Structure 1
Amino acid sequence: MAKSVENEGNFEALLSRLAQGLTIDDKLKANKSGADIFKKNLKAATPRSDTEYKGKTPHIQDAIVEECHPDGRVEVGFSSESSRGYIARFQNDGWIATDRNGKSHKHVPGKHFWEQAEHASRGKIQEAVKQSLKSTIDRKVGKL
């Protein structure tokens, strides 16, 4: 039975590096790797009209952005500057058509592209985040 730990200094250093946990940059890197996959799939699933807009008005596909927060969160959505988020919501969820007098008509079905992007990204996001976290832990342990 061993009465002492071999390479005690290295072992203690390893434990202290692991005890520090993930930094905000590590969290941001992991979340960004998953958000990049979702953003790519959302752009592919988002419908694009044939209308050529003049001025600063972008297509819905071109208004997709990701926002990084100070706590390491990353959100994917539509830019507020483009004012396209509400149009994307109508396109995704559908709406009840009304005429100029306010009379309701048929329901226009949604295209559900947000849900399609979520479905297409489901396993890939977890894998990307897992690989990012694995490389961070390997770096902290000293494998890299």
Structure 2
Amino acid sequence: MANTIENEASFEAFLDRLADGLSIEDKIAANKAGADVFKQALHDATPRSDTVYKRGTVHLQDAIVEEVSPSGRVEVGFSAKSQRGHIARFQNDGWVATDRNGKRHKQVPGKHFWEKAEHASKGRIQEAVKYSLERAIVRKVGH
């Protein structure tokens, strides 16, 4: 198995030419296709409590959003409006339990649902992005 890419400079130049041929809408569509796959995997992996919240508080699963930047980048995360991101971080990473006097107790293990969603969806994300880019290239080339 090779450790390097043969003709790496020409391959990079080819990718740069290909990227120049893609519009920002094509880049957004490809990134959004991958983000949609991850968003669904994250929703499925995120723990959901049986608690019925009042006063507009949402469950972690319902607070997952995607944000598109002008550069074509699409990010998936928890909405700022829901104010659930810090809860998701504690649930994912774990925390050290402390009492009201500040005395440290046991380490509460994290559920690592974010990492599980990344691992479970990796191949499907790549396929979704590949399919979207193939459609864009076919549309540009006309085949």
TM-score where L is the length of structure 1? 0.85
Q: Which residue of 2 aligns with 1:79?
A: 79
Aligned length: 126
* 2:110 pairs with 1:132: no
1:56, distance to aligned residue in structure 2 (A): 1.3
Alpha-carbon offset, residue 20 of structure 1: 5.4
Is there any run of 5+ residues in structure 1 with no aligned partner, and where? 1-17
Which structure would you say has the larger Rg?
1
The two structures have a TM-score, normalised by structure 2, of: 0.86
For structure 2, list consecutive stretches of 5 or more residues without a partner in the other structure.
1-17
Q: CA RMSD in A?
A: 1.2
Alignment partner, residue 59 of structure 2: 59
SS across alignment from 1:75: strand
The one-letter code of the counterpart of 1:138 is V
* Residue 19 (structure 1) shift: 8.8
Amino acid at match of 2:117: A
Identity %: 72
| Residue identity matched to 1:126 | Q
Residues in 1 aligned to 2:74 and 2:31: alpha-carbon distance in whole angstroms:
6
Runs of 4+ with >3 A deviation: none
